[in-house]
Every structure is written in C-alpha cells, then in structure tokens.
Amino acid sequence: MNDRIGDPLTRVDGPAKVTGRAPYAAEFEVPNLCHAVMVRSTVPAGAIASIDSAAVKRMPGVLLVMTHENAPKLPKEGRGAVNPPAGREVSLLQEATVRYNGEPIAVVVAETLEQATEAAAALLVSYGPADAVLDFEKSKQKLEPAKMTRGEPQKKWGDAQAALASAAVKIDRVYRTPFEFHNPMEPHGTIAHWKGDELTLYDATQYVDGVRNTVSKTLGIAPEKVRVVCQYTGGGFGCKGSTWSHVMLCAMAAKKAGRPVKLILQRPQMFGPVGARPITEQHLVLGARRDGKLVAVRDEIVTPTSIFENWAEPAGQPVHSLYAYPNGATDQKVSRMNIGTPTFMRAPGECTGTFALESAMDELAYALDMDPLQLRLINHADVDPSNGKPWSSKKLRECYEDAARRFGWSKRNPKPGSMREGNWLVGWGMATATYPAHRMEAKASATLNADGTYLIRSGTQDLGTGTYTICSQVAAETLGVDVRKIRFELGDTRYPKAPVSGGSMTAASVGPAVRAACLALKDKMAKGGKAPLTAEGKAEGPPQDEAQQKYAERSFGALFGEVRIDADLGMIRVPRVVATYSVGRVLNAKTGKSQFEGGIVWGIGQALMEEGVLDKRTGRVVNGNLAEYHVPVNADVGSIEVAWVEENDTEFNDLGARGIGEIGITGVAAMIANAVYHATGKRIRDLPITLDKLL
C-alpha cells in the first residue's frame, strides 16, 4: 500500500467523483427546492430609475422578484464588507445605485430553472446613467496608495535612487498584464435552506467558516445559527475564497420566498461580480555591475480597483525576496474604475510580479552578454534581502542544477533567432518560480470507532488539490494503520475550524492539525481508552509562531522551456517545459505532481491566451464566456516534466511541508516570453503574447 506520507497514493475521493457520488454544492437534494437567477445591471454607473416587474410576476412558475424595492433591509447598510481588504463589499439590493456593468440588481425565483431564466431575461429595467471610468489609462490620472492584503504598499531598504544612478548597466522597462478571469469548471453556486431562524448553506467555496462568518454578520444572525457545507469544490483558484453577493442574495431570497432556493451563476456572470485578476502595470528598473551583481531594484506598480473598494494585486512581492541586492524600493498605487472589485487569483502578486521581474532579469542578462542562469546564480539570495532573515529551508541552487541538466540548457545557442527547425523558430527560456509559505491555526478531531476504523474531521475544503488524500495519509502514518482504515471528512462548519484554502496553506495548516489530533488519540488509547474514543488536535499559526520571527519562509523553483514559432504565421507552440521545485516535504507524489503541472498549464494560458477585454463604452467584459475567453486545451500543452528536491522544512512546521498549490504558475509567463525573445529577437512586455505582437 502507498499509504504513507509522500507516497503516490491515488486519490481516496476518486471513486466517488468518477461514479458521480461526490455531491457538489448545486447537487444536494433539498425538498421543495426552487430556482433563482441573478439579474445584473447593463450600465456601468448611475442609478436604477425603475424596474417593471409586474409582467414578470405573472409569468408561469414565478414565485418572487426581489429588487432594491422589496429586498429585506440589512444591518450596517447590508454591504457585508467583513475584514477588508480581504473581505468583499457586496451588492445586496439595498439601494438603487449602480457601480459597474454586471452588478447584481435583482433576483428572480421560480419553480424551475427554465422558468427563472426566462423571467429574469424579461425583467425591464431603466437607468439614470452617470459618467463612468472605463479606461485604465485615463484612470491613472488619479492614483492613491494601495491597501495591501499582503505586504506593504511602499517598502525601501538602502538607497535605490543613488545606486541606480551610478549603476554600470541598467534595465528600465514597463511590463503589463491584462484582466484575467478564474473560470473554474464548477461556477459559483449556493443552496439556501431556512428552518425557522437557522440557515443551512450548500456553497461552492474555498472557506466554509468564512462564509458562515460573513453571512452571519451581513444578515445579522448568530454564527451558530448558520451551517455551511461544501464537501467538494470544482476548482476555485481564489475567486471562491471570498463570500460574494450571490450567497447572501440566495439566503435572502429563500427567506422571502419561504422555500429552499438554489442560485447558480451562469458562465457570463463569472465575469464581474465574483472578482478577477486586475490589470498590472509594473515599471521595473534594475541596476547591476559589469560582473552581473545587482546593486539596486526599483518597482513602481499601478493596478485598477473598483470605485468602492481598495483592493491591490501585490505584484511587488517577488522583488522583495527573490534576489540579493543592497538597495530596493517598491511603490504600489491603485486607480479607480467602474469595475467589480478584483480578487485573489492563483498566486496573487507572485504570478504577475515574477512575469515582470524574470523578464527584466532576462533583458539584463542580454545587456551583460551573460547566460540568464548564471546571472541568477550570481544574485542568489542566501538570506531574505528585504529583512536579512535566514530561510527556514531553501534549495533553489539544486533546483537550477537539476532542471537545467534535464532540459539540456548547456546546449543553448544564446544568440536570438539562431536556433531553427525547418520553418519553426526555436527559442529556449528560463525563469525562477517563487511563492511565500503560509500557514494558519487549524483544528482537527480523530475518533476511534468500535469496528477499529478511524474518523478524522476538519472544517477545511478540497478544491480538487488532494486534501482528502493527503490528510488520510498523515492520519494513517501517525496512527500506524492502513489508510483503508481512515475516513477523512471535511467541508462542514460543524467540524473543527480550519482556515481558508488559499495562499497555498491547507496542507501546511490542516496536515499538522490532523497529526496533532491523531497523536492525542494515540495517547488516550495508550492510557486504556476504548472505542468510541475522540481526541482533538490543534496546529498553531501566526502570531503564536516564533519561527516566523526567526526565519523567512518561502518556496522556490527553476523553470526551463522551449517554444516553437512559425516563421511566417507567428503561431506559437510550447512543446516542452522542465521544472524543479524546492517546496519542503511533498505529502503525496501523485497529487503534488498534478498541482505543479496544473500551475504550469495555467501559466501557458496566461502567457499566450488569457485576456479579459473590457468594452470602454459600456464597461461589460465583451469576451465573457469560454468560447472567446481562451484557456489552454490538451492540444496547446506539450511535455511537462516536473520534479522536486528532497527537503524537509521542520523549521516551518512539524510535517516539514510547505504548500504547492500556487507556485506552479509563477515564472511560467516570463519563461515563455524569454523563450519567444530567444526565438525571434522580439521582446514582448505586454501579455498575452499574441500573433499580432510577433508579426
């Protein structure tokens, strides 16, 4: 049996998924269920002048048309901005104001989904429009300091201005990334069911406890009166880490209709009211000596946010920690636009930040006539350059060596345009991957059953990343039993509390809690306890954690990739990527490999395809569907070879494991852009890299 920590155990939840027995949020069976469809604004700013719902109310099956005119009045103006800027300020039909195109303005409830869909489309709304800011370039005329979800908007050490002024070689460039939208296979969806004053929500989420807290505060009910269930999540990528408008609207509609209500977002509704990665503009300046040693880096970043929340993509974070240099400065500002508030998207900040930094490092290597890998080795950070702390564990040098050897980097002809096969221009590029190591307090329980099996519970989530499996492995190894004797349950606020499944922290937080619970159970058993017997365990997190005061905690990786570009058509292919990671202890070799590969695939999409296009006249995302918002498919992805170095970061936690859910996407876009330059001699600093930019 491959049931110990690190073994490639096949997913324990796999049979339930492939046989259709795994219930997702929209699939729970609730008696007397009716269906809701959310109606969104069609103007980017102004106010609702009138909503003519009379005819809609007479349509077959219609039970309720809920608007700002009849929605339940909520405490604190019903905004629901719990713990900003991580929390969301949502739209809950409390007023007639419209702040972006696609903002929720009504909910129609009917007996069937088809009836609700038809009725929602028939709702007549007129507006008193107002001026809107829909052009990012124009929005930059008025900037304000960013309120960061992580890091600081301004950070300085040394004297970057003086060092850059005297640098022998300098790279001064602007890099841009567009709006990007999450689009998990499972859209957002909620079922709300009231029994008296108690509310049960089946919700597609990355944070069951966060949903409970937000809903209870927003609706003004006690947390213990709210139960949230999410046994399976069909992808989240950050957008399901927050509680958006539709969750509360579903609960409000169910209360008003007097029946359980299901509200599932349509695919176009995934573009706007549930967040996105915002545009980033990064003005990056690198200064170096002739031998390649960096002397200073300055990074000035602007990202758009909504007119009602200050939310910033922390794109400057890699500059603080990836390379060693004595002088640094980052400054991040936001501009206001009539858009839905942006949010976390896989590897927020690190993904966009590494595109700029790793592209600039490649440009510096060419300016120095130096191998890009050698430049990175020269500037390897043995301690965190922004604070001087030693790393809890770091094996980036080993990653460079391993991935470069497996890729065959030493055979690269450094001259752009020098490598060719028939009509294909061949380019080789490399970049560094990085993501901070996060963990928070988590709890778990372990129960010995009368039949000799064990039940382990924690109120965490499985987004498809393998939480069911790795926690089963941790429990099996800790208890010293076959994994088939373990049943792990999650996704319920009735279970011991766990943090959000975001920031790549679930394995590093919940894994140690499961271990602690199993150790406590073993202790009870050793003292003569008999089944049924239960023990609870808790894994500490900041601020109790002294390790975070002593060490810098971060993961790293080395990426090498090949592109082939049709010399006549500019068509780009990515036939192979080779990567090696330093991420602490990998808890499952099979699910870990899947996470790395999935991140790289998304990085290919970011580099070559993904771009949300905002209509500057109306404020609507014009490609708000999967027919026109392009993501990679099988034909777009070549060979991906991932590996990791042996590592056990026990300074970080007692399992030695750092999270791996997000690092896979970081550095990929830069690696591809660098390979495109090597193939063509054309430097693309504005993602995505499309045919028109090469021809």
Catalytic site positions: 662
Q: What is the DSSP string of 367-384?
A: HHT--HHHHHHHTB-SB-
DSSP designation for 495: S
Q: How deeply is 546 buried, as exposed, middle or buried, from its count of CB atoms within 10 A (0-12, 13-18, 19+)?
A: exposed
> Is residue 691 within 8 Å of 627, Cβ to Cβ?
no
Coil, strand or helix at 514: helix
Measured distance CA(489)–CA(471) in Å, rounded: 10
SS (H, E, C) 30-41: CCCCEEEEEEEC
Q: How deeply is 171 buried, as exposed, middle or buried, from its count of CB atoms within 10 A (0-12, 13-18, 19+)?
A: buried
- Residue 656's closest CA among 507, 517, 442, 444? 507
DSSP designation for 209: H
Measured distance CA(628)–CA(611) in Å, rounded: 10
Rg (CA), the chain: 26
Q: How deeply is 528 buried, as exposed, middle or buried, from its count of CB atoms within 10 A (0-12, 13-18, 19+)?
A: exposed
Starting at the edge strand that comes first in sequence, how are the strands of the sheet with 554-566 ordered? 420-421, 424-436, 554-566, 572-582, 639-644
Which neighbouring-strand residues pair with 262? 35, 191
Measured distance CA(47)–CA(65) in Å, rounded: 19
218: amino acid identity, one letter: T
Measured distance CA(576)–CA(578) in Å, rounded: 7
> Is residue 48 within 8 Å of 104, Cβ to Cβ?
no
Measured distance CA(511)–CA(477) in Å, rounded: 12
Tokens of 580: 């090696």
Element (H, E) at 333: strand 327-337
Coil, strand or helix at 399: helix
Measured distance CA(133)–CA(570) in Å, rounded: 35
Tokens of 547: 């390790």
- Residue 492's closest CA among 266, 180, 220, 227? 227
- Please give the distance of CA 32 from its chain centroid, rounded to a whole number: 35
